[in-house]
Chains A and B, each alone.
Chain A
Amino acid sequence: SQTIHQWPATLVQPVGSPLSLECTVEGTSNPNLYWYRQAAGRGLQLLFYSVGIGQISSEVPQNLSASRPQDRQFILSSKKLLLSDSGFYLCAWSALAGGRGEQFFGPGTRLTVL
């Protein structure tokens, strides 16, 4: 069966520090991968998605970036965090052929920027 992992689960970082969040998927190949941010009391905002290694689409201009160095690894990064980067970050994957776009979410990372 497929599983999706995210780490760390919780992170507290000072403003201006770098960020690296990692997401890995097991049990599937060639997944579509997604990064979402969920601010307190708000819905999900799609940040990045990827249909393959090295292929990244950005949805929202910001100081975040994403990379997909391996088929089942998706990394969210920042060189300098802002206060507004605080939120709950969710990674998800989908296999279009198998689930018509149904997404499977990781447990999330709670990021607090102070």
Chain B
Amino acid sequence: AQSVTQPDIHITVSEGASLELRCNYSYGATPYLFWYVQSPGQGLQLLLKYFSGDTLVQGIKGFEAEFKRSQSSFNLRKPSVHWSDAAEYFCAVGSIGTGGFKTIFGAGTRLFVKA
């Protein structure tokens, strides 16, 4: 069965520092992988996605993620964090089945940014 693990419940980084949020997945085939961001009390917004091709994908707001099949990972990175990046981040894996497209979300990592 598909699963997504985000090992860090919360992370605190200083503004201007680099960021890496970890994500590991379990899926038999090549997965569809996503990172979403959620600001407090709001819905989720897609940051980036990976389906195939170049394993380093660029997203919005300066984020990028790298797909590593050998490690079953899809870690999210940003070279310099801004205070506005404070939010909750969700990694997700999707698949197409007979019932349609389903997405399994990780438990999320809350990012705190300190001045």
Contact = CB atoms under 8 A, between A and B. Distances in A.
B99 A49 contact: yes
Contact of A49 (B102, B105, B108): B102
A32 B104 contact: no
Interface stretch (A14-22, A74-82, A94-102): A94-102
Contacts of B44: 44, 90, 92, 103, 105
A103 B36 CA distance: 9
Interface of B: 32, 34, 36, 41-46, 49, 51, 90, 94, 96, 99-108
A104 B46 CA distance: 8
Chain B interface mostly = strand
A44 B90 contact: yes
Interface of A: 32, 34, 36, 42-44, 46, 49-51, 57, 88, 90, 92, 94, 96, 100-108, 110
A108 B103 contact: no
20 contacts: A32-B100, A36-B105, A42-B107, A43-B90, A43-B106, A43-B107, A44-B105, A46-B102, A49-B99, A90-B44, A92-B43, A94-B103, A100-B51, A101-B32, A101-B94, A101-B101, A102-B34, A105-B43, A105-B44, A108-B42
Nearest to A99: B49
B45 A105 contact: yes
